Structure 1
């Protein structure tokens, strides 16, 4: 059963700071969540996740069907997902990197797909991004947590995920 929508940064950043060889228990349990189909990802995010190294990367590659939600599959409301995604591209155009000269500190279209998926499925997004600092020019710079808030989607970081799943070392 799907419980979370996973952005690449939800695993890539923790892997950098909590490597699998030092924290094997945590990563084995995260791998179990992958195998169990706990995470939902879009095609775009799956293509990014495939590049993760080590055992967790191999787990992702071996469990594509458990992770990826594809358009035109009968088992989910992909038409609503497409509608959310198209509406969000218009609503958030001012802070989408690809529409603004790849400006740093903005959201990418791939990121928008995972938020649209989360909105469609009514699930939280797991990412390692932090909300934009209000002291910065937050009109021009928005990240996944900022857009999640605007779209009424819950945002969790990796530690929030570990706590929600009662995963400890």
Structure 2
């Protein structure tokens, strides 16, 4: 298994909105290679969101489910470690998980927690387009970048991902 990145849905859907496939063909062709080369890892929960992405990229994501989604019980990755990270993180960050706090816009959802737990397990960065919530002393206000920071997981935007891969168009 040669995974290089864990993607949140926003790490793909937001760039597609601002850099559409029909205009930025070479960018999305390069991104497609990352999907086809099995460099991107997601959880089932994130894939369930991603499968609604439209266009050629959405079709590719749906075709590559078996290489993108790391299933519990598969022998080629530390799924037991993932479960341990997930359980601990749900306890440690309970006060900022929207499903537990009434759904504030500045909180993280359970699906997002899964991709951070996966990234922590695999030692990979999370790519998302979420902005961190500014520190105000309120621990109930957190987004993906905040939880990544707290968990020692690198957070990248799509542009950071492109820079890391030395891709420019």
- TM above 0.5, yes or no, is yes
Query: In the alignment, what sits opposite 1:151?
Result: 151
Q: Which runs of 5+ in 2 are unaligned?
A: none
Report deviation, 1:137.
6.2
* 1:1-169 superposed matches below 5 A: 1-134=2-135, 138-169=138-169
Report the TM-score, using the length of structure 2 for normalisation. 0.97
Give runs of ≥4 in structure 1 deviating > 6 Å: none
Structure 1 SS opposite 2:115: helix
Flag the 1:137–1:19 CA change in 2: closer, same or farther, 3 A: farther
RMSD: 1.0
Flag the 1:138–1:16 CA change in 2: closer, same or farther, 3 A: farther
Report the TM-score, using the length of structure 1 for normalisation. 0.97
Report deviation, 1:156.
0.4
Report deviation, 1:140.
2.1
Q: How many angstroms apart in 1 are the aligned matches of 2:153 and 2:138?
A: 19
Deviations 1:15-53 (A, max 9, x none): 111111111110111011001001100000011111001
Report deviation, 1:139.
2.1
